Structure formats: structure tokens, C-alpha cells
Amino acid sequence: MGRLIVFWFPFSRSFLYRFLHTGVMSDVHVTEHLARIGILLDYSSGRLLFFNAERGLVLFAIRHKFTDAAHPAFALEKAGVLTLCTGMELPEFVKRS
């Protein structure tokens, strides 16, 4: 699958999330600050989703046939706080898809 890199840029009236995967850049503009972003990897179905964890809206999705282990890595560009929560219940929009 290679690497997937996500950048976040705050603007005065919106926020930009930039997803870079296999040399292709995809921009997602949102008008509200997202306090929680969910990441769902469905390895067997070949889906990786990033979503607004409060509203259940998909920000970005990738389809890929995984053949090797997936290794998540997180980093902050500047000093700050990153909290990871695991074992959360699946969002309703995922259960219906």
C-alpha cells in the first residue's frame, strides 16, 4: 500500500485536510474544527476510512487489497497533544455499509 500522509491546515473560516497517497493528493475542506477523527481499517474488505468521529461523515477513503501487515504511525509536526483511543464501537454509518 505504501504510505498515506495526512496534513491539517487551519484557515480563518475553514480547515483543510490533505491526504497524500501513492503520489496523489486529495484535499478535503471542512467548515468546523474536528475534535475527533476516526480511522477505520477493515483489512479483510480492503477499506481504510478517515471520518468525522462526532458526525460519522467520511472524510477520505481508500480501497486496497492488503497482503502484508499494516503498521500505523502517528507524528505531530509541532509540540502538542495526540490522544489515541482504541477499541471503540463501530460507527452506525459503517455498520450500514
What's the rounded mean pLDDT across residues 6-27? 86
Give the C-alpha separation, 26 to 2, whole Å. 16
Single-letter amino acid code for the residue at 30: V
What's the rounded mean pLDDT across residues 14-40? 88
pTM: 0.77
Total tally of structural domains belonging to the chain: 1
C-alpha cell at 90: 463501530
70, part of any domain: yes
What's the rounded mean pLDDT across residues 31-36? 87
Angle formed at CA 47 by CA 43 and CA 48, multiple of 5 degrees: 95
User: Domain span at residue 83?
Assistant: 5-89
| pLDDT, position 55 | 86
Residue 39 has pLDDT above 70, yes or no: yes
34, part of any domain: yes
97, part of any domain: no
Q: Which tops the pLDDT comparison, 84 or 96?
A: 84
94, part of any domain: no
